[in-house]
Chains A and B, each alone.
Chain A
């Protein structure tokens, strides 16, 4: 294929070659460029979080704590969690793919508040810089959950700075969520009614709702923690007249919905991937759309299931368990509908579909094991063991990260105008799936056997399972590294992608790849539902060509 450089000049201007100075990037108001700015930032933090994960898995190969000191190990697993959750998972899909795709999918020129959008990125980078400072000055050793009074009084680490970093970063989330909600309400193209919206948009609407309503609570919580730590104001420490369990209520009031900030956008991505790759409208569109909203609402009512063993009253525990089962149902509905979408479809096995299938498998296991943990009497045994670690990695990595990678591979041709190697894409998706299961499935068994989490050294009988897990992690690391290489390679050597390489039905595929700065050169008008594959010009052409040759 001719190595034409579409980024410089080829007649057509696009958002990448419209201006090339550093200033044009750092002061851009273009949602697509801001999405890429986020992509660089979160990829960097994913790499750092990955290095921490590597250290954890290396340490746990042997039962003795022989690689790191206990203090270092505690800092490493804390920084792994903090980095991955606040600086990768939460911003990943919304800030990168959401920013890039939402206006395109709506047929809009940009988000509602482009300046606010850029400000979100700067706020995020301010928080991220504070977190980098925290890392360089020794990190923190409280666990990502920051439970006081350990975090507020006893820990000798940079808790206050880390708290401020999270406080600041939270505002980036709030502003992004606000921007998305207003954009979805006001910027839809003519004819684009709510029930003609792609499910990606519904998922992001639900996510934005959680970001706007939930994030202020974590801001208050870390601020209260910082006050207790620096000014000795008694809020959580009983010695100062506070209540340590109060912190857990406040923390999980945000941090449980935060799980849905990570998973809902991923569910939105999967809906797009499955629709395009099977050329079917999503089975039960309304149910899938409303289940996102149901998850967003119920997600706020289940925080107490993190606290079944913390001495909250027995009846409180029962209420939280009951509602936790209620929130499991919308997720089950989605899974059933996705599976039913494949029925009588036209299934392609391109890379995004491999990721979508990996998501379905891992999310099913992640969700099913949630049923174990919501069961009160069983959770008493499994709480704070590796069973919990395995469960949330299946949900947060197996589903959220896989969804992000699947989405990145799906929209990559649109973002860059280039195709990556399909073979490499499929192989790395399969490597990730295998490596992931080998890493985390043994941890379910470890937890059931009683291995507590956050242990630097452990009884020798657990070693075999830990070795399996570490072996899986090395495979997983290869799976995560490969895309960095072949995606970078595709920027220069990849085949040029047309406007619609997957023959998808969304509005974003009707404009050239990469899109022009103003997204569309004409005002799109929507006349039908989101997944009308009969209407896709590329499919019509292909069919006409087939009929001719037949």
Chain B
């Protein structure tokens, strides 16, 4: 019998719908039992002493006891040993929760007073909802356009703050189909308690149908390519390091040497910083002459440009963003609920489908 199905019978737990939920609950139960045991032990001892040694006469002075060294050592070391076990278990879980998974479906989340926007890698967008497939690793990359928020799905036992000015990530594998609460857990102003939504965990076929049914924009990488051109990034960042700026082809995930001699790994955070604050970390051999794009691009546009940069290999820029018969008019908001599978737009040749478990993005590096 699946032990997790047994736990669900016990009240006072939210539903267990992710790979982390069972262990978090087990940990919680363990701590409840452990602390309950010691609380009752201390309470019982105290109660027994209180009754047994109640004052019998006004002038009574009990025999004085100075202390007991062995006892002090025992009740220092035993709790310490137990607490180190708790620490280790907690740290192990935390390590799993915050180590980026391999081959995950990537979804980009933007928090904004007071709504959650999600953008799937195929371009589908949704607001205050999140549709994810059952049994697949899902990685959320998140940022905020204004204040600090926190993306909390109790049924998954995951929560990560969504912080303006940086990317944070969170991941999970949904394990049970259904509809779950999504809460903003970090106080963010007037409508904080209204910044809530629903997470829908769907069987894989349903999920694919949902993806097809939702009118979508260009994929983030496609849109990012457009911005890359319209913001004139391509004027300087030429392929083959012939421009004023370094080539961005196949750069994602690599280490680059900076002008100050140190190296930095090219990840989302570095790319974002270089768009908004280009002077911070100059690549060796290049001048600090790129203007800032702070205020010219929204967080979502930055994320799209990054998706584009991630998608381009040497001379492959075109292939990765092959023109697609993109379906709908560019809509920012999408219908609230999963739409019935609509006819798939004919021919999506090079479209990166979230089909195979190897991730939705063509990995170039």
Contacts and interface: CB of A to CB of B under 8 A. Distances in A.
B159 A377 contact: no
Nearest to A331: B79
A347 B96 CA distance: 51
Given A244-B165, A378-B90, A383 B53 contact: no
Contacts of B184: 452
Interface string B136-166: 0000000000111010101101111101111
A348 B193 contact: no
Interface stretch (A114-122, A198-206, A366-374, A432-440): A366-374
B55 interface: yes
B28 A378 contact: yes
B194 interface: yes
21 contacts: A74-B189, A141-B190, A147-B148, A244-B148, A280-B64, A285-B67, A311-B160, A342-B46, A342-B50, A344-B63, A345-B62, A347-B55, A349-B54, A378-B28, A383-B159, A384-B152, A384-B159, A384-B185, A454-B187, A456-B193, A543-B61
A497 interface: no
Contacts of A154: 113, 146-147, 189
Contact of B98 (A286, A314, A450): A314
Interface in B302-340: none
Interface string A524-550: 000000010110000111111111000
Interface stretch (A322-330, A467-475, A508-516): A322-330
Nearest to A317: B94
A147 B189 CA distance: 11
Interface in A452-489: 452-459
Nearest to B114: A70
B62 A65 contact: no
A519 interface: no
A78 B71 CA distance: 44
B177 interface: no
Interface in B12-30: 12-14, 20, 23-24, 27-28
B98 to A, nearest CB: 5
A378 B67 contact: no
Contacts of A543: 58-61
Contacts of B23: 377
Given A333-B76, A364-B42, 13 more contacts: A308-B94, A318-B94, A328-B83, A340-B71, A344-B62, A344-B65, A346-B55, A376-B91, A377-B27, A377-B90, A379-B90, A380-B94, A539-B61
Contacts of B189: 74, 141, 150, 154-155
A459 B42 contact: no
B228 interface: no
B6 interface: no
Interface residues of B, number: 88
A243 B46 CA distance: 49
A286 B76 CA distance: 14
Interface centre among A237, A245, A378 (most CB of B within 10 A): A378
Nearest to B86: A375
Interface residues of A, number: 102
B89 A377 contact: yes
A283 interface: yes
Nearest to B277: A241
B93 A346 contact: no
B112 to A, nearest CB: 12
Interface string B31-48: 100010011001101100
A149 B186 CA distance: 12
Contact of A545 (B59, B97, B155): B59
A212 B13 CA distance: 43
A314 B94 contact: yes
A309 B89 CA distance: 17
SS of A interface (majority): helix
Contact of B147 (A149, A241, A309, A374): A149
A148 to B, nearest CB: 8
Contacts of B61: 279, 346, 533-534, 539, 543
Contacts of A149: 146-148, 164
A345 B146 CA distance: 60
Given A380-B97, A539-B61, A332 B75 contact: yes
Given A147-B148, A284-B67, A368-B39, A375 B186 contact: no
A344 B53 contact: yes
Given A385-B185, A449-B13, A454 B67 contact: no
A56 B92 CA distance: 38
B168 interface: yes
A375 B184 CA distance: 22
The 5 closest A-B pairs by CB, nearest first: A377-B93, A238-B165, A450-B154, A543-B59, A375-B90
A230 interface: no
B281 interface: no
Contacts of A309: 150, 159-161, 185
A346 B53 contact: yes
A336 B74 CA distance: 11
A192 interface: no
A7 to B, nearest CB: 29
A290 B203 CA distance: 59
A9 interface: no
Contact of A457 (B12, B60, B146, B194): B194
Given A377-B89, A377-B97, A546 B150 contact: no
A239 interface: yes
A374 B79 CA distance: 14
A409 interface: no
Interface centre among B43, B58, B187 (most CB of A within 10 A): B187
A58 interface: no
A339 interface: yes
Interface string A354-368: 000100110011001
Nearest to B14: A450
B237 interface: no
A534 B346 CA distance: 97
A340 to B, nearest CB: 7
Contacts of A70: 190-194
Interface in B166-187: 166, 168, 181, 183-187
Contacts of B97: 377, 380
Given A70-B191, A318-B94, A452-B152, A278 B53 contact: yes
Contacts of A376: 87, 90-91, 93-94
A376 B27 CA distance: 11
A448 B14 CA distance: 8
A310 B98 CA distance: 12
Contacts of B294: 239
Contacts of A317: 94
Contact of B92 (A336, A340, A346, A377): A377
Nearest to B169: A311
Contacts of A534: 61, 64
A360 B12 contact: no
Given A342-B49, A378-B24, A238 B166 contact: yes
Given A317-B94, A379-B90, A450-B154, A343 B53 contact: yes
Contacts of A143: 187
A189 interface: no
A308 to B, nearest CB: 7
A285 B147 CA distance: 49
A539 B23 CA distance: 57
